[in-house]
Amino acid sequence: MQQRRPEDLHKALATATCRAMQEAVIYLPADVKRVIAKAAATETNPVAAGEYENITKNIAAAEHLGVPLCQDTGVPVVYLTLPPDVPFSPALYDAVAEGIRQATVRVPLRPNVVDPLSRHNSGDNTGTGMPAVHVRPGDRFLVTVLPKGAGAENVSRIVMLLPSQKEQIEEVVVQTMLIAEGRPCPPVILGVGIGGTFDSAPALAKEALLLPVDRMDTFEQKLCDAVNHLGIGPMGLGGTTTALAVKVKIAACHTASLPVAVNVQCWANRHATVEVNW
């Protein structure tokens, strides 16, 4: 059996990251396309129905031409699933960054990543320091990318509730969209993180966007219905559907706190997973 070399791991992960980025920004997952089609079929507002027609044409054109769905190709958020035989090391971050650099040129991706203070643009979507990489254990070596556009990310929120305010979770979710209105290019998909700590609740909310959106449990459906009662509709122009889905992830929290985070995503809930073969 041929010995695996570190350089082989670097090349394989970089290649997989580049491919995942390319697939994510061009092809919407099947479950996302299903909820869009369902919303379009039930829309009664003529203006909103026209927006769904535009969205459907946009999806088809991106797939046919092999170009990104949106000019804002987002900031790369990456999830690595590592099996026991893959060592965790800084080299993984380097390989992910290389894959992002490759995708920026090949897809191409708009250079979105800048220094937060100087606003210097790296030009390759990597910036300074480590890329946004989340690592978790698993049976297979996988890279998942979630390109996150600024329009939706900018209206995301975290609220630190008290345990006695549990009934206000729905209010937090609805108020987030009431404040956002049409800015995140609705109809949206909302990831909701409940519990954990101040920093982990938003991480849960973002991870919730990776869950299947064509099925919701009773609580998720209740939150989704409440948001849709706002009538904001596609692109904020009015309509039946403001939220295509609401997905929730929870974690244990302190007895004296109840963090609730809402990560807003536009209709183009872009993400892709690629297995790393090395």
Residue pLDDT, tens place only, 148-206: 999 999 999 999 999 999 999 999 999 999 999 999 999 999 999 999 999 999 999 99
Q: Is residue 272 part of a domain?
A: no
Shortest CA distance to 243 belongs to which of 187, 203, 194? 187
Domain count, the chain: 1
Q: pLDDT (tens digit, 9 = 90+) per residue, 86-112?
A: 999 999 999 999 999 999 999 999 999
pLDDT of the residue at 5: 82
- 89: which 2 tokens? 């090391």
Task: Give the DSSP per-residue string, 117-171.
Answer: TT--B-SSS--SS--EEEEEE-SS-EEEE--B-HHHHTT-EEEEE-GGGGGGHHH
Residue 45's DSSP bridge partners are none
pLDDT of the residue at 128: 73
> Is the distance from CB of 175 to CB of 181 less than 8 angstroms?
no
pLDDT of the residue at 6: 79
pLDDT of the residue at 1: 40
- 157: which 2 tokens? 């929120």
Query: The domain containing residue 216 runs over which residues?
Result: 150-265
DSSP alpha helices (H): ranges in the chain? Answer: 6-26, 30-42, 46-65, 90-106, 150-153, 169-180, 200-208, 218-228
The pLDDT-based confidence of 130 (bands split at 50, 70, 90) is low
Q: Is residue 33 part of a domain?
A: no
pLDDT of the residue at 72: 97
41: number of Cβ within 10 Å: 9
Residue 144's DSSP bridge partners are 79, 273
Q: Is residue 250 part of a domain?
A: yes
Encode 54-91: b = buried (16+ Cβ within 10 Å), e = exposed. Answer: ebeeebeebeeeeebbbebbbbbbbbbbbeeebeeeee
Instruction: Please name the amino acid found at residue 92.
Output: L
Dihedral sign (CA 220, 221, 226, 231): positive
> Is the distance from CB of 195 to CB of 251 less than 8 angstroms?
yes
Q: Is residue 48 part of a domain?
A: no
Q: Is residue 18 part of a domain?
A: no
The stretch 54-65 carries a mean pLDDT of 98
3-state SS assignment for residue 256:
coil
Q: Is residue 116 part of a domain?
A: no
Residue 189's DSSP bridge partners are 245, 265
Percent of the chain past pLDDT 90, that is, above it, reads 94
Percent of the chain past pLDDT 70, that is, above it, reads 98
Q: Is residue 46 part of a domain?
A: no
Q: Is residue 61 part of a domain?
A: no
